[in-house]
Amino acid sequence: MPTLVMKFGGTSVANLDRIKRAAKRVGVEVAKGYDVIVIVSAMSGKTNELVGWVNETSPLYDAREYDAVVASGELVTAGLMALTLQEMDVPARSWQGWQVPVLTTSAHSSARIEDIPTENINAKFGEGMKVAVVAGFQGVSPEGRVTTLGRGGSDTTAVAFAAAFDAERCDIYTDVDGVYTTDPRVSDKARKLDKIAFEEMLELASLGAKVLQTRSVELAMRYKVKLRVLSSFEEQSDDAGTLVCDEEELMESNAVSGVAFSRDEAKMTLISVADRPGIAAAIFGPLADAGVNVDMIVQNISEEGRTDMTFSCPVDQVARAEKAMEEAKTSGEINYHDLVADTDVAKVSVVGIGMRSHAGVAAKMFASLREEGINIKVITTSEIKISVLIDRKYMELAVQALHDAFELDKAA
């Protein structure tokens, strides 16, 4: 039997009615002849509540117990989904992560999946089970403790199962009907894309288009898992949603496929640091040790052996970054005149694999921002992405202008 993986996010299993609705979708696929592996999230809001309880009980919690508590939300929905399917006369049973087993590293709260042996579930399919309902977001460490995969991790569970079971497709049911050219809340001209390449999705996911956990896209790209994002709230046809697929499956690509943004950024500049070998390592080493996620980096022109170093990071990490830099200064690792933090910036990016073959994308982007009178503070580029840092108050305007400039309202 061909295997299909269907993942239902928190809003799709938010209550018993929604679970019933999701189970009906599963029933449709079973009727087509698939063996189905259903991956469920916790009911929406549940994981936040569990995390809150842990923090309230023990601010400096034991990460193993955090995982024990936080993984429980998915156990409830897995059992309820299996029961609902049984009520529909579909042979189904639930699996907790450790029962499969989903083998992970011991990095509690952010574990990685190492292996998913398929024997146990396949044996049950062999006995006539039609649906394996698996609790997402969790696994078991070599020490035999329950682990979780990081917030949003059930997407990664789903893709990992699709790879392990060589599934025909991995359908991610969520509360939006696909991947859009930009966030429809920011531009009412946003269009749903029928297809998008893994690499583009990776950039969009990591830039804050929170449809899929970034790691799930990385995994899908590595194992060439056909990934489909679609809504569990609408009747679905076979080509609904957005297919995230290999570049080769896209007929022709526009220069730009989407405009992404990240609202809460900060720009930090170390004024006048010594321009000598090892200075970047001396700055970014301590920042990494302090857990600061540095994104863009610009080293300015050097004068008389001194230079300015600018970087961006999430705005809620500014205090941590400042502390790390002050400590590095005190210990004599680096020396600087001043550390200036601009905490009112946002990042806006255009993404598209078509950039590799289309010239002039950057020029068009900058011209469009100029027309709106938006000042660019930092620019970075990669093969398929151009990002700018701008004042946060212009973020929406910039996204709309770029969406127009690249004619994304005509995208399909």
DSSP 80-124: HHHHHHHHTT--EEEE-GGGTT-EE-S-TTS--EEE---HHHHHH
72/106 with CB nearer Mg ion: 72
C-alpha 250/C-alpha 244 separation (Å) is: 10
C-alpha 65/C-alpha 42 separation (Å) is: 18
Virtual torsion, Cα 199, 205, 208, 211, nearest 10 deg: 140
C-alpha 405/C-alpha 362 separation (Å) is: 12
Binding residues for ligand ASP restricted to 89-148, rule: CB under 6 A:
136-137
Among 139, 153, 258, 352, binds ligand ASP (CB under 6 A): 153
C-alpha 86/C-alpha 329 separation (Å) is: 64
41/257 with CB nearer ligand ASP: 41
Q: Applying CB under 5 A, does 152 fall inside the site for Mg ion?
A: yes
Q: Applying CB under 6 A, does 77 fall inside the site for ligand ASP?
A: no
The sign of the dihedral angle between the CA atoms of 46, 130, 92, 20 is positive
Among 11, 41, 254, 400, binds ligand ASP (CB under 6 A): 41
Among 24, 112, 151, 377, binds ligand ASP (CB under 6 A): 151
**Min dist. Cβ of residue 42 to Mg ion (A):** 10
Of 18-26, 151-159, 224-232, 267-275: span binding ligand ASP (CB under 6 A): 151-159
Q: Which two tokens stand for residue 158?
A: 């789903």
Asked whether the beta carbons of 170 and 34 are under 8 A apart, the reply is no
**Min dist. Cβ of residue 216 to Mg ion (A):** 9
Partner from ligand ASP, Mg ion, none contacting 73, C-beta within 5 to 8 A by type: ligand ASP
**Min dist. Cβ of residue 74 to Mg ion (A):** 12
Binding residues for Mg ion restricted to 167-226, rule: CB under 5 A:
none
47/317 with CB nearer ligand ASP: 47
Tally of CA atoms within 13 A in the half-sphere of 206 that contains its CB: 15
R_g over Cα of the chain: 23
Q: How many residues bind Mg ion (CB under 5 A)?
A: 2
Residue with tokens 């601009």: 342
9/258 with CB nearer Mg ion: 9
Of 120-128, 149-157, 220-228, 368-376: span binding ligand ASP (CB under 6 A): 149-157
Which distant-in-sequence residues (6+ apart) come within 8 Å of 21 by Cβ? 12, 232
Q: Which residues sit opposite 267 in a β-bridge?
A: 312, 342
78/389 with CB nearer ligand ASP: 78
Q: Applying CB under 6 A, does 42 fall inside the site for ligand ASP?
A: yes
C-alpha 341/C-alpha 338 separation (Å) is: 10
**Min dist. Cβ of residue 155 to Mg ion (A):** 6
Among 3, 77, 94, 154, binds ligand ASP (CB under 6 A): 154
Q: Applying CB under 5 A, does 73 fall inside the site for Mg ion?
A: no
**Min dist. Cβ of residue 321 to ligand ASP (A):** 26
Q: Applying CB under 6 A, does 207 fall inside the site for ligand ASP?
A: no
Which distant-in-sequence residues (6+ apart) come within 8 Å of 25 by Cβ? 6, 173, 232, 236
Of 9-17, 67-75, 197-205, 263-271: span binding Mg ion (CB under 5 A): 9-17
Binding site for Mg ion (CB under 5 A): 9, 152
Binding site for ligand ASP (CB under 6 A): 9-10, 41-42, 47, 73, 136-137, 151-155
